[in-house]
Amino acid sequence: MVERSVKHALYGKIVVRSSKYHAHDETGAYKMGDVVEITESRPLSRTKNWVATRLVQKAEAV
């Protein structure tokens, strides 16, 4: 999921917008909550057009 802050067109308030991307993880190395870098690739399935390329930050243990 990618989150970004944008200014509302009418009211001027800063709101958070998010988009979810389905990314392919070939080796299964990344877990839920990890921050990863994704790059666009050829279509791998109906919804998957992205590939996870590298780990940016490991998820914190709660």
pLDDT at site 20? 94
20 alpha-carbon distance from chain centroid: 6
pLDDT digits (tens, 9 = 90+) for 4-56: 999 999 999 999 999 999 999 999 999 988 999 999 999 999 999 999 999 99
How long a stretch of residues is the chain? 62
Token couple for 19: 């988009």
Q: Would you give the DSSP letter of residue 61?
A: P
DSSP assignments along 5-48, one per residue: EEE-TTT--EEEEEE---EE-SS----TT-EEEEEE-S--SSS-
Cα–Cα distance for residue pair 53/62, rounded to 1 Å = 25
